[in-house]
């Protein structure tokens, strides 16, 4: 069966008691995850999956709700599974140092030793591509962090076609390039309504002129004609978006889009 599974469906605050958003890709190729937050291993266990089946992890950016499952994947690999199979990782610039620091901060003694399996970390800037475990990975710019930090959206070219992942991002014209020709778009939808400027997350490190850093259903509904994608899975849901799931799905149907507001462990067949 070819499918994408929502390992978690909530924002960084685990709104509505859900796990942090991450995606498991079962498209007929090597098993991979897009992001791996602190609740991801628990979700894999609930699915009856061994975390060490993963052959690749693709990080969209380096916020904790997207990467904090990393040390738990490693400690499980080293001490329980005795992993020997290679593991491939992609992420934005800075990924290698951040993952190494996270491993050391959580399990210092283990991090002082070499891993017993091959680990390849490839850092991608917007516009870069890479061949990883039989898939072509395209990295696109996401609108979520200020320089020098980089956030990515990703296109995975695999046996089931192109799977597109927004990661965390605000609305910007590049989303049309991300979604073009995609079999499925896995999109964040933190807010139900576009927040007023005063409460849109502006802060000294991310001023209003940088644009918003999350999507709302209002944004996505307006973008749908330009995106041209007919299947969408929504994650990274805040409480209001979660509570309006039935309304969002109905409005998408009226626009001719097959849209799923995901719950934890939701499965989207490809």
pLDDT (tens digit per residue) in 134-190: 999 999 999 999 899 999 999 999 999 999 999 999 999 999 999 999 999 999 999
Residues in the chain: 270
Enumerate domains of the chain plus CATH numbers: 3-269 (3.60.15.10)
Q: What is the pLDDT along the chain (270 residues), one digit of tens a residue?
A: 899 999 999 999 999 999 999 999 999 999 999 999 999 999 999 999 999 999 999 999 999 999 999 999 999 999 999 999 999 999 999 999 999 999 999 999 999 999 999 999 999 999 999 999 999 999 999 999 989 999 999 999 999 999 999 999 999 999 999 999 999 999 999 999 998 764 555 566 656 666 789 999 999 999 999 999 999 999 999 999 999 999 999 999 999 999 999 999 999 999
């Amino acid at each position: 069966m070819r499918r994408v599974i929502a390992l978690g469906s909530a924002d960084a605050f685990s709104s509505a008691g859900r796990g942090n958003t991450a995606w498991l890709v079962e498209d007929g190729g090597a098993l991979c995850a897009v992001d791996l937050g602190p609740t991801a291993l628990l979700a894999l266990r609930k699915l009856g999956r061994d975390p060490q089946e993963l052959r690749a992890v693709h990080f969209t950016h380096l916020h904790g709700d997207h990467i904090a499952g990393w040390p738990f994947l490693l400690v499980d690999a080293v001490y329980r599974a005795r992993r020997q199979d290679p593991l491939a990782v992609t992420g934005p610039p800075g990924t290698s140092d951040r993952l190494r620091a996270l491993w050391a901060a959580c399990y210092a003694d283990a991090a002082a030793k070499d891993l017993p399996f091959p680990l390849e970390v490839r850092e991608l800037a917007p516009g870069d591509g890479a061949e990883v475990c039989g898939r072509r990975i395209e990295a696109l710019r996401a609108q979520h962090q200020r320089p020098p930090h980089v956030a990515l959206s990703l296109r995975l070219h695999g046996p089931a076609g192109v799977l597109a992942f927004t990661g965390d991002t605000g609305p910007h014209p590049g989303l049309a390039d991300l979604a073009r020709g995609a079999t499925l778009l896995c999109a964040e939808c933190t807010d139900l309504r576009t927040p007023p400027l005063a409460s849109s997350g502006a802060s000294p490190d991310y001023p209003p002129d940088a644009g918003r850093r999350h999507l709302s259903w209002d944004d996505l509904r307006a973008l749908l004609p330009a995106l041209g994608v007919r299947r969408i899975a929504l994650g990274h849901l805040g409480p209001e978006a979660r509570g309006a799931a039935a309304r969002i799905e109905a409005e998408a149907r009226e626009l001719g889009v097959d849209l799923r507001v995901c719950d934890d462990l939701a499965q989207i067949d490809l």
